[in-house]
């Protein structure tokens, strides 16, 4: 029983390891002329500090809706829409 369980565990472990991304050490050189210690998943094997083509993802900031409610008070809903209006006040 234990041998069968071990075989199943080994097979499952091997299957799971095939689906994970391998992380490699960055090939970049620091200002002190030593290899960078950051890990990376990219194909070029450079971390975001050493990759010239890295573009940081732009995050939109949520703002409070600038419309008035039916009771004629300021809306308090937050939105990330470029119009600055929440889903209740957009067309």
> What are 31-81's pLDDT values in tens digits?
999 999 998 887 888 998 998 888 888 888 999 999 999 999 999 999 999
Provide the pLDDT for residue 43: 82
Q: Give the per-residue pLDDT at 37.
A: 92
Higher-scoring residue by pLDDT: 91, 25: 25
CB neighbours of residue 91 within 10 Å: 4
Do residues 75 and 64 lie in contact, with contact meaning Cβ atoms separated by under 8 Å? Answer: yes
pTM of the model: 0.41
Question: How far is 45 from 39, CA to CA, in rounded Å?
Answer: 8
pLDDT of residue 3: 55
- pLDDT number for residue 60: 85
- Give the highest mean pLDDT range of 5-9, 28-32, 73-77: 73-77
């Amino acid at each position: 029983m234990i041998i069968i369980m071990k075989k199943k565990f080994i097979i499952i472990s091997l299957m799971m390891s095939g689906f994970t991304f391998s992380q490699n050490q960055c090939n970049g050189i620091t200002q002190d002329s030593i290899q960078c210690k950051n890990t990376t998943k990219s194909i070029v094997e450079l971390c975001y500090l050493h990759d010239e083509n890295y573009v940081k993802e732009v995050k939109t900031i949520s703002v409070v809706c600038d419309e008035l409610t039916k009771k004629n008070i300021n809306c308090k809903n937050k939105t990330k829409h470029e119009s600055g209006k929440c889903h209740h006040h957009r067309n």
